[in-house]
Amino acid sequence: MKLAVMGDIHGNHVALETCIRHALEKEADEFLFLGDYISDCPYPQKTMQIIYEMKRNYRCYFIRGNREDYMINHRNKPQERWTYSSSSGSLLYTYENLSEKDIDFYESIDIRGLYRKEGYSDFRYCHGSLTSSNELLLPDNPNMESIMENLDVDLLISGHTHIQESKMYGSKKLIHPGSIGIPWYYNGKSQYMILHSTDCNYFGWEEEFIQLGYDVCRVKKEFEDSGLLQKAPFWAKSVIHTLETGEDYTTPCLRLAMNLCKEEESVVNWPDIPEKYWKIAYKHYIK
Ligand SMILES: [Fe+2]
């Protein structure tokens, strides 16, 4: 059994196509998608089209990520404070380019799953953690040890970190397959994983980490053509920087812009952060 595990696509349909083609060449039997299908990159509808095609043609498992939760929440109770701006313009743009069908699809899937198939070892999977789509399962998470200790299987696979790695916690293993669409490190190469079933280890599965170059220039051009670069100026530029280098400054830029706003105006409420603070933050980290 070869299971292609794909996480954090973030609307990067060009990288997604590249990874799917590669997985099919490697004769993947099944596909596991770990959520965050959309937001950050342009034309989310193109990514969703690929997702539906995969669902029709292959054995796929889907869970949702925090970005899908934001879209569901927005439909249920529109966030009037989302505006075209570096803080929330990318989310607003994404929402406006999705259909009711897309959001219905997000609502139909869970934030976690259990892989159980006769003849294979069980494992659990999630976008963030098993209890929250937004939790990062990284060593500095104070709940990390207890999460792994309380795990009722030996293997957990999670996305959201954008870091491709595996780590042991006692006798349990945690694997992050990396991000397809906003990959960190490896000079921005797109990342996914093939999980091979095996009798040679205790977990019953062996991970193969894959990094692939793809047409970043095509995605960059879509940022301009789609208007996303104008609708979420410094956020979009920060995302492009990550795509081109694998260095991520989106969160540091947001944090600095918020701190600057707090210092100057003694109050800060996301997403109401004036562009002038974003500009300083962007220049501080990127250029
Ligand atoms: Fe995420």
Which domains does the chain carry?
2-212 (3.60.21.10), 249-285 (no CATH)
Distance 229 CA to ligand 1 centre (A): 21
Q: What tokens were used for 274? A: 């004036």
Distance 36 CA to ligand 1 centre (A): 5
Distance 32 CA to ligand 1 centre (A): 16
Distance 284 CA to ligand 1 centre (A): 25
Q: What tokens were used for 232? A: 């979420």
Distance 198 CA to ligand 1 centre (A): 29
Per-residue b or e along 17-36, where b marks 16 or more CB atoms closer than 10 Å to that residue's CB: bbbbebbeeeebebbbbbbb
Task: State pTM to two decimals.
Answer: 0.97
Per DSSP, what are the bridge partners of residue 166? 175
Distance 161 CA to ligand 1 centre (A): 7
Could you say which DSSP state residue 269 is in? B
Pair 268, 258: CB distance under 8 Å: yes
Distance 61 CA to ligand 1 centre (A): 17
pLDDT reported for residue 245: 98
CA pair distance 30, 25, nearest whole angstrom: 13
Pair 196, 206: CB distance under 8 Å: yes
**pLDDT < 70: residue spans in the chain:** none
Distance 199 CA to ligand 1 centre (A): 32
Distance 204 CA to ligand 1 centre (A): 27
CA pair distance 109, 63, nearest whole angstrom: 5
pLDDT reported for residue 131: 97
Distance 66 CA to ligand 1 centre (A): 5
Distance 67 CA to ligand 1 centre (A): 6
Distance 74 CA to ligand 1 centre (A): 17
Residue 68's φ and ψ, nearest 5 degrees, are -70, -35
What is each CA distance from 107 to 15, 47, 61, 73, 165, in whole angstroms?
25, 17, 15, 10, 29
Distance 68 CA to ligand 1 centre (A): 9
Distance 7 CA to ligand 1 centre (A): 9
Distance 35 CA to ligand 1 centre (A): 7
pLDDT reported for residue 287: 81
Distance 128 CA to ligand 1 centre (A): 7
Give burial (CB, 10 Å; 0-12/13-18/19+) of 139. exposed
The H or E element containing residue 33 is strand 30-33
